[in-house]
Structure 1
Amino acid sequence: MPRLHIKAVYDEINTSVWPRRGLTDLNKQKMALVNFRFLVLLAITQYSAADAINRTPRQQGPASIFTIGNGEQCLGGDRSTGGVCLSRNQCNTQGGKAIGFCGVFATCCSLNACDIRTNTKVAVFINPPLSKESSGLECSYNIEINNNNVCQMRIDFETFNLAPPTTVEAVDNVTQRPGYLCKNDIFRVSNLHGNSEALPFLCGDNSGQHFYVRVNASINDRSVRMDFKLADRISQPNLPQATWKIKVTQLECFNTLGKYRDGILDAITASLPSTPFSSTADRDEYFIAPPGCLQYFPERAGFFESFNYNRGAGPYIANMAYATCFKRSPDVCGIKLTAATFDMAYNADSNLYLDTDCKVNPLVQGKALSEDYLFIPEAETADGLRGSKFCGNSAANQIIASTPPGPLYVHFKSDNLVTTDVPEAGYRFTYNVLNNCNLK
């Protein structure tokens, strides 16, 4: 909407909106001024709201100067330290520290302590100051459900560096040993009423990663707990110092009443708090993950990698089984995957490392053979090689199209076995969703 020219609007009101029907000049001017103020306020509301609506979810602007604590991200006074925008009372109650201002009535709050409890829509947790003397601690965060519409939490590891997963030392004449597990530093999510088993323990380098947690307030699933357990650096001085910055966003499922917002009502209600006519679920819908997905990428292009990819050095973590999913819009027929790195274990050396090379045949179960693989449904390489389970280096230097009839996803599985001289570095893919599934 174009900017208003104040004098032009005033002249319009004064000359045409209020006809001259016996009103004194003074009364006409008073009425014109009142309506002028109303029209200007309405226009500003429409302009601001429409601008907010047209932004993508990753382009939301800074908080208003009248913010009283909306839980959105903010920067402290040094313009580099991140926090969340809360009232001073909320910040103190949640054990945070004020590091700046975000609006006249709110403070930028850094949650860089342990044993924090919060119920804000967005929360950013930062590791407390750590040293060798203070390591060996346990740090917990409790995120309480913001409202009954919340159905998922997205946990973004903006910074995540813990001690790497480890296995036992190799022994002469023994080719197999237990897989790489989180034994020193451990991150876990719990209090999920039986759903916690589906969420892996994490350690190592996972900056830039994320995962989703399903919640259901209707069955008294009112909170999620994140725990860090750190190894003592005095007895193990070679371990890297632990650091983290984790953003937790509570996502609301779509409210059908939001479908009926349109026109000027849409523009006004979009800038107001949640009402029967406006729900933050409208904005959250973009990020809601399909059922069963630990990771979800709604963008049409990007990259994904194994946990503790560690810039190609790995190793990936043992005993994992999870799905990474991608948004399937009506125009999408599949997804193209290109591996920057792909280096996994295998159980048979046939130079193809596909399907039966990646999973043990039931007839030979009980043997110490690897069953690590990445499952890519209905996969076909650009040179015509078809398969579904990829292990070894079978996906390296390949362009792979996955064109399943249903959801777009890949499934990673790792066992609890390491074979000497068989690397388990992991994988990193770039992806693009396709509306033309002929790669040739």
Structure 2
Amino acid sequence: MGGWNMCCAFGGVRKLHSSIRMSRYGICCVFMASCGGIARENGTYFVNPNSPDVTDGTGSCQLSILKLHPDICQLRLDFENFAIAGPDVLNHICNTDQFLVSGGSTVPTICGTNHGDHMYIDAGLGQSNPVILTVITSGPTFPRSWRIRISQIHCGSLHKADQGCLQYFTGISGRVKSFNYDSLSGRQLSNQDYSICIRTERNFCSIQYTACGDAIDSDRKRSFTLSGNSNSVVPAMLGGGIQSQSNSCPNDWLMVPCAKVADRVPPAIQCEDKICGGTFNAEPSTTERTVSSNIRPFRLAFHTDSVEAPTDVDNKGFCLDYVQQPCTNA
């Protein structure tokens, strides 16, 4: 069976792609599925109805994912495009629209805008039990759209994420952020509880995190606003470590294991674990600082409860740039 016919036989969409180096055309078979569909092929895209146009309909749109082989341990979801209605203004709960994952590992409900984000899902045991992706839409008219690439990862693959990691990053440097983060229009989502993992590269022993720059110039960054009223200056607050006499982060927090200010002179002897408030710093302060951690493997844990108002107002979540630091003999 020829390439074109093979693509059609398995439900793919035929496309042409060119190779500049080879100076010839080849066949690209793209698998796309929407509401009520079943994804059996690696690299299938889950798209909204009417894709590539937006949809403003309401209801439930489900896709079932079946393993292509028994030796599949994880699924990676890449949100190449994802925009549904965001959370409510008061408590930042996804009441209008929701993205849900069932049949695999526990995944928090998300909503809003999440272009470029990803998730790793435990595919579970057996080959016949599907993982189900569901987009629930309700409420007022909204230009919704999603295009999610589904990659099936073999148990022995080098691309497999560490156990318990909803997000998994590789490389010496990169950027991590909470779902629906945007320094201008985003809202921190409530009811989040997950881990973000960064693969420790060879000959690197620690990692540094710095709050991202904002999309617009302002006197006050919004790239780390987890608790308090972010319309005013909120200092870094700490919990679970030595410096704080009491836990100042009981509700919403980012765990950075044994966090210290990276360039503190003299270096801090004690360290902290949880950071919250409206300033990214491993010490109570309204001044932003780069934070380091030497606990391996490199992992962050993010937690939010179900209540924002009246204490927490207009928090955006977090966006951090990370750089791994090489091992030294000192």
In which range does the TM-score fall when normalised by the shorter chain? 0.7 to 0.9
Aligned to 1:184: 96
Aligned to 1:353: 237
On the 8 A contact 2:45/2:147 being kept in 1, the answer is yes
Say whether 1:244 aligns with 2:146. Answer: yes
Looking at structure 1, the residues matched to 253 and 56 of structure 2 have their Cα atoms a distance apart, in angstroms, of 39
Choose which of 69, 74, 78 in structure 2 pairs with 1:152.
Answer: 74
Say whether 1:122 aligns with 2:12. Answer: no
Aligned to 2:272: 387
Aligned to 1:262: none
What one-letter code is carried by the residue in structure 1 that aligns with 2:199?
A: K
Secondary structure of 1:353's aligned partner: strand
Secondary structure of 1:354's aligned partner: strand
Aligned to 1:226: 133
TM-score by length of 1: 0.60
> CA offsets per residue over residues 341-378 of structure 1, 9 Å max, x none?
1111159x994411169x9969x9xxxx9610100001
> CA offsets per residue over residues 127-186 of structure 1, 9 Å max, x none?
221789860132111110011111111111111101001154xxxxxxxxxx31111111
What one-letter code is carried by the residue in structure 1 that aligns with 2:103?
A: N
1:89 and 1:389, CA in 2 relative to 1: closer, same or farther beyond 3 A? same
Offset at residue 426 of structure 1 (A): 0.8
Aligned to 1:15: none
Secondary structure of 2:93's aligned partner: coil
Aligned to 1:412: 302
Looking at structure 2, the residues matched to 310 and 184 of structure 1 have their Cα atoms a distance apart, in angstroms, of 19
Aligned to 2:204: 332
Looking at structure 2, the residues matched to 335 and 319 of structure 1 have their Cα atoms a distance apart, in angstroms, of 27
Aligned to 1:45: none
Offset at residue 332 of structure 1 (A): 1.7
Aligned to 1:399: 290
What one-letter code is carried by the residue in structure 1 that aligns with 2:323?
A: N
Choose which of 218, 227, 252 in structure 2 pairs with 1:372.
Answer: 252
User: Which segments of 5 or more consecutive residues in structure 2 lack a partner in the other structure?
Assistant: 19-24, 213-222, 282-287
> CA offsets per residue over residues 82-101 of structure 1, 9 Å max, x none?
xxxx610111xxxx6x3534
What one-letter code is carried by the residue in structure 1 that aligns with 2:257?
A: P
Looking at structure 2, the residues matched to 133 and 244 of structure 1 have their Cα atoms a distance apart, in angstroms, of 9
Looking at structure 2, the residues matched to 315 and 360 of structure 1 have their Cα atoms a distance apart, in angstroms, of 30
What one-letter code is carried by the residue in structure 2 that aligns with 1:215?
A: A
- Which structure has the greater CA radius of gyration? 1
Higher relative contact order (CA 8 A, sep 6+): 2
What one-letter code is carried by the residue in structure 2 that aligns with 1:113?
A: S
Number of equivalences: 294
Considering fraction of residues, name the structure with more strand.
2
Say whether 1:88 aligns with 2:3. Answer: no
Say whether 1:431 aligns with 2:303. Answer: no
Looking at structure 1, the residues matched to 155 and 4 of structure 2 have their Cα atoms a distance apart, in angstroms, of 25
Looking at structure 2, the residues matched to 306 and 213 of structure 1 have their Cα atoms a distance apart, in angstroms, of 17
Looking at structure 1, the residues matched to 34 and 109 of structure 2 have their Cα atoms a distance apart, in angstroms, of 21
Looking at structure 1, the residues matched to 129 and 245 of structure 2 have their Cα atoms a distance apart, in angstroms, of 41
On the 8 A contact 1:67/1:102 being kept in 2, the answer is no
Choose which of 100, 110, 115 in structure 1 pairs with 2:15.
Answer: 100
On the 8 A contact 2:103/2:124 being kept in 1, the answer is no
1:125 and 1:132, CA in 2 relative to 1: closer, same or farther beyond 3 A? closer
On the 8 A contact 1:102/1:108 being kept in 2, the answer is no
On the 8 A contact 1:88/1:106 being kept in 2, the answer is no
Looking at structure 2, the residues matched to 325 and 201 of structure 1 have their Cα atoms a distance apart, in angstroms, of 19
1:124 and 1:99, CA in 2 relative to 1: closer, same or farther beyond 3 A? same
Offset at residue 241 of structure 1 (A): 0.8
Aligned to 2:117: 209
Secondary structure of 2:10's aligned partner: helix
> CA offsets per residue over residues 255-303 of structure 1, 9 Å max, x none?
xxxxxxxxxxxxxxxxxxxxxxxxxx4xxx1x21111111000222110
User: Which segments of 5 or more consecutive residues in structure 1 lack a partner in the other structure?
Assistant: 1-65, 70-85, 169-178, 255-280
Looking at structure 2, the residues matched to 436 and 376 of structure 1 have their Cα atoms a distance apart, in angstroms, of 19
1:132 and 1:297, CA in 2 relative to 1: closer, same or farther beyond 3 A? closer
> After superposition, where does 1:24-103 map in structure 2 within 5 Å?
87-91=7-11, 98=13, 100-101=15-16
> After superposition, where does 1:284-323 map in structure 2 within 5 Å?
285=158, 287-323=159-195
Looking at structure 2, the residues matched to 437 and 304 of structure 1 have their Cα atoms a distance apart, in angstroms, of 26
Considering fraction of residues, name the structure with more helix.
1
Looking at structure 2, the residues matched to 394 and 138 of structure 1 have their Cα atoms a distance apart, in angstroms, of 39
Looking at structure 1, the residues matched to 146 and 192 of structure 2 have their Cα atoms a distance apart, in angstroms, of 22
Looking at structure 1, the residues matched to 293 and 62 of structure 2 have their Cα atoms a distance apart, in angstroms, of 40
What one-letter code is carried by the residue in structure 2 that aligns with 1:100?
A: K
